[in-house]
Structure 1
């Protein structure tokens, strides 16, 4: 990612977590039910159409990122945000991490890279508010989410492999790693 100024990429530089709590901020890029994948472009501080899903395919939940984080792929950490209904693209939602799908992916020209998908429940959710750990999700739902990510990666010329399903403690540890990588990249010591 090119060098950016905070004034230029406001959503990227929001705090990852709400002050004094375990809640994370999630910037929603793509709404639940959308066949279009949007991606935040910090250079213009707007969402761009990134790709179109295959016929009949839609995002199962809202999809976005945690600001002030970076993953091994050089992008902010990806989050699948579970809410009762679709949220609008571009909004910022407070959420509780319930786990992470530890994933690696590769292309024909690049080797394996980690590209984990965090799972979070919006704090405003009424029907999912008691969900605290991805282990509480029906196994079938996790299998369907993994199948969605695998198919989506395939449509984009990538091979994806789910390494592990982990709960909220591991998700928070990986979030901290992502925050540190962001700080080293965008806020170097003087």
Structure 2
């Protein structure tokens, strides 16, 4: 599978959530997370794609490094969490999360699959997104975890 370009919106360790605003061509502060809650890894999107929520597809980039809002990097897709997100108004939409590893990562250079990740990283990421959405008055429910090949095909469709 060829690498996928990802643009980082919110860096690893940030307690602030940024969103790219295409009309303004910049990153805009969207939210301040509660004290002690931070993004566990870089969070971004795949340019030129559209997810069930109308925004570009979301990607969590597992790496030993933290980058910055606007950083662009080539990543290897290693899987995805298919998920439904219920908004405050009760409407539900698909809002999947793709998991990727930067091509330049040393720590994760051998990882090609969710099954190769150490410990319970995917469980922790799932909990993060559930808590993050709950604090915003939304519900995030993982329907299924898929491995790299299926995730890659979901992006390319």
- Off by >6 Å, runs of 4+ in structure 1: none
Partners of 2:73 and 2:144 in 1: CA distance? 26
Q: Following superposition of structure 1 onto structure 2, how do residues 155-170 of structure 1 map, counting pairs within 5 Å? A: 155-170=135-150
Q: TM-score, normalised by structure 2?
A: 0.96
Tell me the equivalent position of 1:71. Answer: 51
Partners of 2:119 and 2:53 in 1: CA distance? 28
Tell me the equivalent position of 2:36. Answer: 56
Residues 27 and 92 of structure 1 are in contact (CA less than 8 Å); yes or no, is this contact kept in structure 2? Answer: yes
- Deviation at residue 54 of structure 1 after TM alignment: 1.4
- Deviation at residue 139 of structure 1 after TM alignment: 5.0
Report the 3-state secondary structure (helix = DSSP H, G, I; strand = E; otherwise coil) of the residue aligned with 2:130.
helix
Tell me the equivalent position of 2:11. Answer: 31
Partners of 2:142 and 2:32 in 1: CA distance? 23
Note the aligned Cα RMSD (angstroms). Answer: 1.1
- Deviation at residue 156 of structure 1 after TM alignment: 1.3
Partners of 1:47 and 1:167 in 2: CA distance? 31
Structure 2: gaps (5+ residues) = none
Partners of 1:108 and 1:29 in 2: CA distance? 23
Tell me the equivalent position of 2:69. Answer: 89
Tell me the equivalent position of 1:144. Answer: 124
